[in-house]
Chain A
Amino acid sequence: MHNTLTRVQNVFGFFTSVAFAVAAAIAISVVLSSQTPSASLQLRNVQVVKGRPHYYSTKREEYAHITFSLDADLSTLFNWNTKQVFAYITASYPSDSPASIPESEAVVWDAVIPAKNAPEHHNTYIHPTKSTARPKTKKERLSLNKAYPPGKEPGILKLDKQKPKYQITDVSGKIAERNNATLTLHWNVQPWVGALVWDNRRTVGRWQGLKGGEAAFEFPPLKATEAKKEDLKTATGKEKNRGSPA
């Protein structure tokens, strides 16, 4: 400390230690906040078609188009340390030989839901709204471009007959007539500082586990007649990076 330079070095060094300690405190303080997520997920329709599911597919294979309805309240997952919540719905089903081959899990839909004070990002989810009328005021226009329904908070999802973002295939190329499939809602809370946490179904301390958010279904047989092209479209949201095929 005998020198201006050494004083600068010492102050900066201690500042980094203090910053690290404050970040650790912020990360741990998340445990004290209570979470009460709730969700209800229903399958609306599932179609299995043979064709080329992706623009890069080189051969025809069976793929499934799963439409669903979701009514979820993930707003309590947003505490002061939440930057964004990544919500996603997967379809999982057991393999042909469950003893040796684990089950398959494919993502059907996902959404990046930022917290209110997170900076603007072109890939954040834009919640679909029922009314197609043009917005009249600036307030209306802004409320339609959010990751949550107008008038609600981040984490509220009200989707009815939602088209999937991704069409799913099986590694073997055959996905028709598979049984014991489940549609499940998951989430990943991405903090400003600290550990990533995924969805929990068990209650841990003040964090309630999620009940519901699951729907069992079976993959139907291959569609005999030609499925209509419009029925097989995926959700091309207004967010810039769309799921394929865009």
Chain B
Amino acid sequence: MADAIIEKARELFEGQIDFEGQRTAERMMTIALCVVGATAFLVGYITSNVYWTLYVGLGGTAITFLIVVPPWPIYNENPVQWLPAKGKGSADYDIVVDGQRVTSQPTR
């Protein structure tokens, strides 16, 4: 029972996302931070006040953290297609090693 709780905690902290999701997350991070940086500079330049650059920059970075870091469902839409689990007895699928078909049973 404690194992189930620890497993849930581990999943929460790991926040695993699939590979397509990782690619999307990295692209989101790059675009979001570049936009935040450019906007922060322009806002400060137009208002002639450096403080606005700081506020927009820090606020935009906080928003980027919220967009990219938590494992949102959109990052988990292409889960990896694992092969089916190994069955007992004769193999459910072919494993070919050095031109010879082998099974999951250890050879004697």
B68/A22 in contact, CB under 8 A: no
Those of A73-113 within 8 Å (CB) of chain B: 79-81
Interface stretch, picked from B22-30, B81-89, B92-100, is B22-30
Those of B57-74 within 8 Å (CB) of chain A: 57, 61, 64-65, 68-71
Among B17, B36, B53, find the residue whose CB has the most chain A CB atoms closer than 10 A.
B53
Residues of A within 8 A of B9 (CB): none
Measured between C-beta atoms, what is the minimum distance from B8 to chain A in Å? 14
Contacts A4-B70, A11-B29, A11-B65 given: A22-B45 contact, CB under 8 Å? no
Contact of B26 among A1, A18, A80 (CB under 8 A): A1
In angstroms, Cα B49 to Cα A79, docked, is 9
Interface bin, chain B: 20 to 34
Number of interface residues of A (CB under 8 A): 24
In angstroms, Cα B50 to Cα A14, docked, is 21
Contact of B15 among A4, A14, A29 (CB under 8 A): A4
Contact of A11 among B37, B68, B71 (CB under 8 A): B68
Residues of B within 8 A of A80 (CB): 44-45, 48-50
Per CB-CB distance, the 7 closest pairs between chain A and chain B, nearest first, are A4-B15, A1-B22, A18-B37, A80-B48, A7-B69, A18-B33, A192-B50
Residue numbers of A with Cβ under 8 A of B are 1-5, 7-8, 10-11, 14-15, 18-19, 21-22, 25-26, 29, 79-81, 117, 192-193
A-B contacts, 18 of them at CB < 8 A, read A1-B26, A2-B16, A2-B17, A3-B14, A3-B15, A4-B14, A7-B69, A10-B29, A11-B29, A11-B65, A11-B69, A15-B61, A18-B34, A22-B40, A26-B41, A80-B45, A80-B49, A80-B50
